[in-house]
Every structure is written in structure tokens, then in C-alpha cells.
Structure 1
Amino acid sequence: MNEQIFELLDLSKREVKIYRALLALGPSSIRVIAEKSGINRGTTYECLKALQSKGVISYLPKGKRRLFSPREPDVLLQLAQDKQRNLDQAIEQLKTRVIPDMHHLMPDFNAANVSYYEGDAGIEWVLRDILSTVSAQEKKEYSIFSSKPIRAHLYRPFPNFTLQRIQRGIEVKVIAIGDGGEDAELSERKWIKTDGPVDAAYIAIYPPKCAIISLASHNYPTAVVIDSKEVAAAQQIIFQTLWGLL
């Protein structure tokens, strides 16, 4: 876990090893640091320069020599906080300026608006996209058509999907095709009765997107996501009309 933390701070394993050596030694020359850390002098010097540029160490001139000195370990927390502030600023700029500007470069609809996914990993991505897309909207609600044969496979890669939906305060309306389906918090369900067998299918309408999930041979899940406010609006009208009739 510590290695992952240091990686997030952009500190390499060698840099961390040299910093630890410096903490134990106190102000020291490159030769002494290299011997303590077990890293050759050339690499030690490059790592010391990198650590100095990151503000983790400093140096003290002593005659013709240069002694490197570690800053207190609390500097690592400062590094993390600086990265967090920079990341928060980047996220805000992405939301308010960068991504909207990029959207303006795209035509209203082209092939790039249709994405294909497959396997459990692909279905999990689609389910997470539903949560993240709806969470960002003022009215946190989406609609789905769902048939019984697909239910056993749908949430297999994301078993706590419903729990996360509820935690985010997202409401869902479900038109179930065929029997089955469980009621859950923040959900409404109506049924379309059928006499014969029903194919596996799941259609999620979460404007400006629609996702269509089905099963190929050997119950292999596949999905298509259409990012189009016009298509989503048309599907929503169909859903609401049918909902009112059931």
C-alpha cells in the first residue's frame, strides 16, 4: 500500500529509498547517501536532483562540497495536498470549460456517438455510466425495459449496482417484460404480460444516452450505447406512453 501512495506522489522506488536513507543519515554527501541506499552514485545524484525539484530535500553548501538534507516527512502530506488542489482545479476546468469546448467540436450525431461493449467488463462499464450520467443531472431518474432471461446475467459484474443507485438517490422506472423482478427502494415497476418465451434484453434510457444490452451465444453479454439526445428523447416518449397505459 505504501508503494502505491508514493507512486501517487510521483516518487519512484529509488527516490523513496534515497529519501529514507537521508532521514536516517541527516545532511550527507552523495557518496555517503549512495553507500547507505545501495544505489550507484550516478543514479543517486539524478534522484537527489528530482527530490530537490519536488521540494522533498534541500542542499547545504559546505566548502566545495554539497550536502543534501531531507525535509521533515510531513512534506509528503504537503505534496499530496498540492496534488489534490491541482486535481480539483483540473476537474473543475474539465467540467466548466474543456469538455464543453470539446463537445462543440463534434457534429450533432456521427459514428462516434455509438459505442459497443461486451463481456462482464463491458456491462459493468455501461452500468457505471448509467450511475455517473444520471448522478450529474438535476432530476436523478432513468427508465428501463427489462426482460426476465437477462436479469440473472445483468448485475453479475456489478452486484452492488442497486445499492449504489439508492445511495446516490437515483430513481428508476421499470417496465418488466415477463414475470419476475424485485421491487427496490426508489424504484417503480410495471409489467407487460406475455404468453410465450421472451428473449433476453435490457434497454436503459438515461438522456442523453440509451443503452441496449442483450445476450449472444452461451449467454455472453453485449451492449450498445447510443449517445444522442434525440434518440433518447424518442425512447423516453415511447416509455412514458406505454407506462401510462399499463
Structure 2
Amino acid sequence: MNTAEVLRVFGLEPRETRIYLALLESGPASIRDVADRSGINRGTTHELLKRMQHKGVVSYFPKGKRRHFRAEPPSRLKELALNHQNQVSEAMELLEDKVIPQLSHLQPITGNADVHYYEGDDGIEFVLKDILSTVSDQPNKTYCVYSAKAIRRHLYRPFPNYTRARVKLGINVKVIAIGEGGRDAPLADRKWIDEKSSENAGSYIAIYPPKVALISLSDGDLPTAVVIQSPTIANTHQVIFNTLWQTL
């Protein structure tokens, strides 16, 4: 990240950053001088300076009939960052305790499964992160998967540190590997189905109630995924998995 990108994270838009840097270099200056140095028209500069004054990164003093503005010391930016961090923390608490429950009530209650479709590496990364997020919130941090040989080398391409992230969260996984291969990993139990027909199997099925994710490869090795959120469907898959696991 460059300076402008860092400051944007903490509430200064790019034009405000240009004005702040211009004031640091010039010292106290009139609106006209600030506008000339930053390359922003005077009307916009005036509005931005008022916003920046409210944020506490610039101040002004009267000089004759004009206002002259000056940049607050760079150390003031740390206070801005800490304030932003506190606001985010407070918002996260409200999101968890109030906002999400309130918004969830807006969804119609039906008996149908909630189905979502994803494709490409970005979509698969989203699904893998959803597995970790969902399972990490459960008392029994364990999920189950069927993993076919043909998809293994493609599955974690968008999220190469997936296993490390899973272990860090203390999440266990039971794997029924279809076909040879598959590496042992921490917090993972693995059993195999070695069938000749397994060469035609090219999918990865994750069971993490109340969801089931089905990831497969289409033409050109484009990964696609379907996530079904349904306690009934997920529990049915879980029963089938547990039964097969005991026979292997």
C-alpha cells in the first residue's frame, strides 16, 4: 500500500490526501494557494477543507480578511486511525448482535432450500472461506468431505493457505478420498475409496450443516460450486457420510 491507499483506509479520500500533503509541504496557506498546489478547483478545495477540519487533520486561523489553513502534525493521523478502528469494532458488535438478526427477519420463511451458485477461482475461494466461517462458529468444529482425485490439484488454487487457516481455527475434517492420493494434514482423518470408476469422479462435496457445498470442474478446468443451505439436506448427507465412514 502507498500513502494514499493507507490514508484512504482510515477515512481520507484521495483528494483530501492531496490537500493534506500540499499543506504539509507549503505550511499555512490560503484556499487559493491550496487549490493551486493540489490541482483541485477552489470550490471543491473549500468543501474538502471543511470536511478535513471536521476530521481533525487540518485547522485554520484568520489572516486579515482570509482564512489560512494548515495541516495538523502527521502524528494526528494515528489518532484518526485509532478512532476509525474503534468505530469499526463498535459496528462489528452491532452487526453481530442487532443488525444481522434484524435483517434476517426480513427474509421470507419458506421450506425451500437456499441455493447459491459460484464459479471461477474467486467463487471457490468464497465457498472455502464460508466453510471455515460456518464451522468455526459451531461447538463441534468438524466438517466432512468427499474429495475426488481429479479436482484436488485445482481446489485450493485460489486459497493456497486454506489448510493452515483451518488448523489455526482448530477445525477438524473427515475426508473420504475417492481415488489414490491426497496428503495427510493436521486435524484431518482420511479414508479412501479406491475404485476404477473413480477416474470419472471430479467433484468435491463438503458437508457442514446446515450447508452442503458441491464443487466441480467444467470444461477448461473452470471450477464451479453450488452451496445449498438446508438443515434437512445437510443432515441427510451427514447420515450417509457417517454410515459410509464406518464401513471403510
Per the normalisation by structure 2, the TM-score is 0.89
Tell me the amino acid that sits aligned with residue 143 of structure 1: C
Deviation at 1:24, TM superposition (A): 3.3
| Residue aligning to 1:152 | 153
1:235 aligns to 2:230 (yes or no): no
The C-alpha deviation readout for 1:72-107, integer Å capped at 9, x for no partner, is 222211111111111111111111111122223331
Whole-Å separation in 2 of the counterparts to 1:109 and 1:57? 56
| Residue aligning to 1:225 | 227
Whole-Å separation in 2 of the counterparts to 1:192 and 1:159? 25
Q: How does 1:44-59 map to 2 (within 5 A)?
A: 44-59=45-60
| Residue aligning to 1:103 | 104
Q: Which piece of structure 1 moves more, 159-168 or 102-111?
A: 102-111
- Is the 1:178–1:198 contact (alpha carbons within 8 Å) kept by the matching residues of 2? no
| Residue aligning to 2:141 | 140
| Residue aligning to 1:76 | 77
Distance 1:66 1:151, change over 3 A: same
Q: Which runs of 4+ in 1 moved over 4 A?
A: none
Tell me the amino acid that sits aligned with residue 246 of structure 2: G
| Residue aligning to 1:174 | 175
Deviation at 1:21, TM superposition (A): 2.6
| Residue aligning to 2:204 | 202
Whole-Å separation in 1 of the counterparts to 2:171 and 2:110? 28
Distance 1:177 1:25, change over 3 A: closer
Whole-Å separation in 1 of the counterparts to 2:222 and 2:111? 29
| SS of equivalent to 1:91 | helix
Tell me the amino acid that sits aligned with residue 181 of structure 2: G
Deviation at 1:63, TM superposition (A): 4.2
Q: Which piece of structure 1 moves more, 98-107 or 121-130?
A: 98-107
Tell me the amino acid that sits aligned with residue 175 of structure 1: I
Whole-Å separation in 2 of the counterparts to 1:49 and 1:60? 13
Deviation at 1:12, TM superposition (A): 2.9
1:211 aligns to 2:223 (yes or no): no
Deviation at 1:243, TM superposition (A): 1.3
| SS of equivalent to 1:105 | coil
Deviation at 1:202, TM superposition (A): 1.1
Deviation at 1:108, TM superposition (A): 4.5
- Is the 2:11–2:84 contact (alpha carbons within 8 Å) kept by the matching residues of 1? no
Q: Which piece of structure 1 moves more, 59-68 or 145-154?
A: 59-68
Deviation at 1:46, TM superposition (A): 2.4
Q: Which piece of structure 1 moves more, 89-98 or 55-64?
A: 55-64
| SS of equivalent to 2:186 | coil
- Return 5+ residue gaps in structure 1 as ranges: none
Deviation at 1:58, TM superposition (A): 1.6
The C-alpha deviation readout for 1:149-205, integer Å capped at 9, x for no partner, is 221221222222112212222110011122222111110011223243442121101
Distance 1:222 1:74, change over 3 A: same
Aligned residues: 245
